[in-house]
Amino acid sequence: MIRLFVGLAVPEPQRTRLAGLCGGIPGARWVRPENFHVTLRFIGDIDEGLAEDVDIALSRITAPSFALEVSGIGQFGKDFKIRALWAGIVPNAALNQLQAKVEAAVTGLPAETRKFKPHITLGRLKNPPPDRVGAFIAGHAGLRAGAFAVDRFTLFSSFLAAAGAIYTPEVDYDLG
C-alpha cells in the first residue's frame, strides 16, 4: 500500500515567507517548509497496481500553466476545535479547472467529501487557545506571500512518521 495525494509544490520564496509565520501558538505542530503544498486531491492508501492506474490517468491531463497568489490566513474548525491554520490562495479559474480534471481522472476512487478550498496548511492544532489563534490570524490577516508560476502538478506519496509527515514527489506532470 502507498498513501498518495496530488498537489502543487510551493516555490522557495513563498516557503521562506510562510515559514517565518510559523510560531507563537502553544501545542501547534508546524508543517516543515519543504512540505508546503496546495492539495488538489487526497487519494489515501491504495495498492501499487491502482497507483500505476492513477499515474496513467493523471499523465493524460492537459491544462495550461498559470500563476497562483498566496494571500491571507485562515483556520479550519472553531474555538477549541480549531484543527489547522492555513495560508490562502487567491481564487483562480485555471486552478479550479485543473482540480476538476484531476478529480475526473481519479474517478472510481472514493469521492472527496470536502469542497475544494485551495490553501497551504501551515500548522495542525489540537485544543489550541482560541485567543492565541485569533491573535495569530489578526496579526497576519494582510499576508501577501506573492504569486508563483504553476507549470506542473505532482503525485506525492506521504509517510506518516512520529516527527510529522514525510512527502515525496513521485511523478511530475507538466502543464502548458
Distance between CA atoms of 81 and 89, rounded to whole angstroms?
Answer: 23
Kind plus residue range of the DSSP H or E element containing 147: strand 144-150
Active site residues: 37, 119
- Spacing of C-alpha 116 from chain mean position: 11
Going by C-beta distance under 8 Å and a sequence separation of 6 or more, which residues neighbour residue 13? 146, 148
Those residues with Cβ within 8 angstroms of residue 4's Cβ, 6 or more apart along the chain or in another chain: 43, 44, 46, 51, 54, 155, 156, 157, 158, 170
Query: In this structure, how many other beta carbons lie within 10 angstroms of the beta carbon of residue 10?
Result: 23
- CA-nearest of 140, 40, 138 to 87 is 140
